Amino acid sequence: MTCLLKSVVRREDGKGIEVQQNFAAYTSSHGHYLFSPESPVAVEFKNNISCRVVTTTLVHEVHQWINPWISQVIRLYVSEDYVEFDWTLGPVPLE
């Protein structure tokens, strides 16, 4: 299990929609306010991702921990027709 989101199934017709989400960062030796990456290739965070599924009568949640400074909660409310992404970033290590 990768713990990454792969698809969403529409409630009204059961149709699956493929989804791909990645977490990555660019390295830079420049200041905090200037985005000028050293390389056009981002460093992806996909190893050791952990997750937990929480299901209640009101909401289904997937809690993801990408690394010590990136986490995300994906929520599907039973009475709604949208997906909610709540992510947290930081503090980002500078080394």
Confidence of residue 43 (pLDDT cuts 50, 70, 90): confident
Confidence of residue 59 (pLDDT cuts 50, 70, 90): very high
Greater model confidence, 68 or 2: 68
- What pLDDT is attached to residue 22? 86
Residue 2 lies in a domain: no
Interatomic CA distance for residues 44 and 95, integer angstroms: 16
pTM of the model: 0.80
Interatomic CA distance for residues 30 and 49, integer angstroms: 29
Residue 50 lies in a domain: yes
Q: 60 is in which domain, residue-wise?
A: 7-89
Please say if the pLDDT value at position 5 is more than 90: no
Please say if the pLDDT value at position 31 is more than 70: no
Domain count across the chain = 1
